[in-house]
Amino acid sequence: MRTSHHLEVEGADGRTIDARHAGVDAGPVVVCHGGTPSGLAEWPQLESLVEQAGLGLVTYARPGYAASTRREGRTVGSAADDTRAVLDHLGVDGFVALGISGGGPHALADAAGLADRCTGAVVVSGLAPMDAPDLDFFDGMGEANQAQFRTARDDPAAVATNAEQLRAMTAALDAAMVKATAPHTLPPVDAAVMTSPLGDELAEYLAATMRSAFAHGAHGLTDDHLAFAKPWGFDVSAITCPVMLWHGTADESVPVGHGRWIVDHAPGAEGRFLDGHGHVSILAELPAIIDRVAALATR
């Protein structure tokens, strides 16, 4: 039976976690961690693929996004606490963690922090740790993203100001604006996606999730950036479940070196490095990605 409903879950520390449950009600579950920033919004293509695979889809807003209570000082590893609370609320034991872009590290956090329940992690265009000693974090990264991460590392007080500015800029964001600005804000390979059949739905989702992210303030974005700029709170090399990674070689938002680092350091990890794909264009591979999620969910 298909389900789709909104949840307000109480975390172990009394915070509110804003969440959704969609897909197949009684099937295996995938917990999807969205990018940075992201709130709660329907993504019809993802939900349809998950339902066709016989899975349930759980999404929740990280602290400070949407109606989720802020958790000041949170680390990337803190995500496992909220995932546990949502799954306990639903009565779910095993699950697969899926993370896209800024959600990638949080999917790895689930794999590390919920080793007894996480049957696999799938990471799409995900970040590696900024403090990794054998990674040039900024190599191949676009100037705008470099500036954001350097600010979070070097001038934490400015991060909240920058987040508030983005909140003001996107308050009335809609799909038409996403599509109109794509040629000016994205590399050509990614901007082209917004004029493809995938573009209309993707633009609707991106606009909706950003509006949701900032509905109650900019703390979520602030704390995401600060969490990425400090130790994650867990060791990627200690992950014991299978990890599958998709990354485009032309990604300028999160360069492919990040994906290669994860594959090199998560034991037994597999990587698909797709020539010519960027940070957004790789979402054309979503059907294959969900096929892999389903295989991990039922292994």
Domain boundaries of the chain, sorted by first residue: 2-297
**How far is it, in rounded angstroms, from Cα 2 to Cα 296?**
21
**How far is it, in rounded angstroms, from Cα 30 to Cα 58?**
6
pLDDT score for 198:
87
Q: For the chain, give the mean pLDDT.
A: 96
pLDDT score for 228:
98
**How far is it, in rounded angstroms, from Cα 131 to Cα 232?**
9
pLDDT score for 27:
78
* pLDDT, tens only, 231-250: 999 999 999 999 999 999 99
- SS3 at position 276: coil
Q: Are the C-beta atoms of 29 and 93 separated by less than 8 Å? A: no
68-69-74-80 Cα dihedral, nearest 10 degrees: -50
**How far is it, in rounded angstroms, from Cα 49 to Cα 97?**
16
Expressed in angstroms, the distance from the first to the final Cα of the chain is: 22
The strand pair at 29-33 and 16-24 is best described as unpaired
Nearest alpha-carbon partner for 58 in 106, 130, 128: 106
Q: Where does the pLDDT of residue 24 fall: very low under 50, low under 70, confident under 90, or very high at 90 and above?
A: confident
pLDDT score for 1:
52
DSSP string computed for 228-239: HTS--SS-GGG-
Q: Where does the pLDDT of residue 2 fall: very low under 50, low under 70, confident under 90, or very high at 90 and above?
A: low
The CATH code belonging to domain 2-297 is 3.40.50.1820
Which tokens go with 36? 């940075």
**How far is it, in rounded angstroms, from Cα 145 to Cα 23?**
33
- SS3 at position 223: helix
Nearest alpha-carbon partner for 20 in 5, 10, 35: 5
Say yes or no to pLDDT of 284 above 70: yes
Nearest alpha-carbon partner for 244 in 178, 292, 180, 210: 292
- SS3 at position 277: coil
* pLDDT, tens only, 94-128: 999 999 999 999 999 999 999 999 999 999 999 99
Judge if the upstream peptide bond of residue 37 is cis by omega within 30 degrees of 0. Answer: yes
Q: Where does the pLDDT of residue 26 fall: very low under 50, low under 70, confident under 90, or very high at 90 and above?
A: confident
pLDDT score for 214:
98
pLDDT score for 23:
86
Q: Where does the pLDDT of residue 197 fall: very low under 50, low under 70, confident under 90, or very high at 90 and above?
A: confident
